[in-house]
Amino acid sequence: HELLAARLGNARMQRRENVDRVGGETDKLVDNGKVSYSNPVRQPLFTYEDSVGGKTPKAKAAAENLMKVCPSAEAEGHVLTIPMPGHTVSKSQAQKVKAEFERLRELIIKHDIIFLLTDSRESRWLPSLLASAHNKLLINAALGFDTFVVMRHGTRQEAEEKREEGRRLGCYFCNDVVAPTDSLSDRTLDQQCTVTRPGLAPIASALSAEMAVSLLHNMSVEGGGGEGEGELGAMPHQIRGSLRQFSLLSITGNAYDKCTACSDVVVEWYQKKGWDFVLDALNKPAYLEEVTGLTKMKQEAEDFDVDIEWDDDDDNDGDHGQGDNGGDGGRS
Dist. CA 331–CA 142, nearest whole Å: 43
Which one from 171, 174, 193, 259 is the annotated catalytic residue?
193
Nearest 5°: phi and psi at 227?
A: -125, -175
**In this structure, are residues 135 and 154 in contact, taking their beta carbons and an 8 Å threshold?**
no
Dihedrals phi, psi of 273, to nearest 5 degrees: -110, -15
Q: What's the rounded Cα separation, in Å, for the pair 263 and 179?
A: 13
User: Could you give the CA distance from residue 120 to residue 154 in angstroms, rounded to a whole number?
Assistant: 21
Length of the chain: 332
Q: CA angle, 238 as apex, 235 and 239 as ends, to 5°?
A: 95
Active site (annotated) includes residue 262: no
Q: d(Cα 135, Cα 223) in Å, to the nearest integer?
A: 8
CA-CA distance, 116 to 330, in Å (whole number)? Answer: 50
- C-alpha 50/C-alpha 162 separation (Å) is 48
Tell me the catalytic residues: 193
